[in-house]
Structure 1
Amino acid sequence: MNSIEMKNFDKADETRTFEGHGFADFVMVGGRTVARGHFEPGWRWSQDVKPIVGTDLCQVSHLGYCLAGRMRVTMSDGTEQELTPGEVAAIPPGHDAEVVGDETCVFLDFGEIAEYAMRK
C-alpha cells in the first residue's frame, strides 16, 4: 500500500444485526476488518449472537477499546471481567458476554472479527 486508506463507520462496508439487541458495523481498511459494535441493554452473546453462529460460546478473538457502556465477559472456566469506557481488552475465544446496566456498550474491535455474527 502506497497511500493512506481511510474509512468511516457512518458509511460502513457492512452492518450485521444481532438477534435482538444491537448491531455491528464493519469496515475493511489496510487489509483488515475493524468493527464497531453497539450492544444494547439486555444484549447477551448467548441470546443475541449464538443463534446466528451456532456455537456454544463465542469463538472469536477480540482486541478492542470500550467507548461507552459496560460489558461483563465470562470465560469458559467461569472467570469474569467487566469492561468499562476507556479500557483496552484482549479477549480470547471461549467466552460469553453481556451488557451491564442500561447504557449501550460501544466496543471498537481490531481482533479476528471478520466473521463475527456472520450467519453460517
Structure 2
Amino acid sequence: MGVDAVKGIEVKTFDKPDETRPFEGNGYADFVMAGGRTVARGTFEPGWRWSQNVKPIVGGDSCQVSHLVYVLEGRMRIHMNDGSEQELTPGEVAAIPPGHDAEVVGSEACVALDFGEIAEYAKPK
C-alpha cells in the first residue's frame, strides 16, 4: 500500500530513504520525512563515537540535538555534559537532551530509530 492508496496517509520506508548522511567513519543515518516530521534510523558501527565521527561534520563541543530514540539492536552509552552516563539496550526508549557525547558499546552495531529534533543531525554546517 503506497502513498496514494489511502488519502491523507503518507507512507515512507527506510529501504528508500529521502536522505542518507554518512558519518566520518563507522556508520550513517537514513532519514525519511513524513507528515512534516523527520525520522532517522542510525546505524552506529562498532567503534563509533559522536566526538570522533559526527563532531568533525557539525562542530561544537557536544551533541546539541534532542533525541527521542528507540534502540533496535546493539548498545550505546550516553555521556551527558554534567558527568552522568546511561547505557541503552535493545527495546529501550530514551529521551536524551542536548549536551552529550555517545559511543557504541561492544562489537555489535547499534541501530536506533530517532523521532526527536533530528532533521539537522550529522548535516554539514
TM-score normalised per structure 1: 0.98
Offset of residue 64 of structure 1:
1.3
Using the aligned pairs only, state the percent identity. 79
- Between structure 1 and structure 2, the one with the greater Rg is 2
CA RMSD of the aligned region, Å? 0.6
- Identify the residue that residue 71 of structure 1 maps to in structure 2: 76
Distance 1:55 1:108 in 2: 23
Residue 39 (structure 2) pairs with residue 15 (structure 1):
no
Q: Secondary structure of the equivalent of 2:15?
A: helix
Distance 1:90 1:64 in 2: 7
CA deviation digits over 1:65-86, x for unaligned, max 9?
0000000000001100000000
Number of positions where the alignment pairs a residue of Structure 1 with one of Structure 2: 119
What are the residue-to-residue correspondences of 1:14-53 with 2, within 5 Å?
14-53=19-58
Offset of residue 3 of structure 1:
1.0
Distance 1:89 1:102 in 2: 22
Distance 2:37 2:60 in 1: 24
- Runs of 4+ in structure 1 off by over 6 angstroms are none
Counterpart residue identity of residue 104, structure 1:
A
- Identify the residue that residue 6 of structure 1 maps to in structure 2: 11
Please list every run of 5 or more consecutive structure 1 residues that lacks an aligned counterpart in the other structure. none
CA deviation digits over 1:76-118, x for unaligned, max 9?
0110000000000000000000000000000100000000000
Pairing partner for 1:112 from 91, 112, 117 = 117
Residue 78 (structure 2) pairs with residue 86 (structure 1):
no
Please list every run of 5 or more consecutive structure 2 residues that lacks an aligned counterpart in the other structure. 1-6
TM-score normalised per structure 2: 0.94
Q: Secondary structure of the equivalent of 1:10?
A: coil
Counterpart residue identity of residue 34, structure 1:
V
Distance 1:12 1:82 in 2: 28
- Identify the residue that residue 4 of structure 2 maps to in structure 1: none
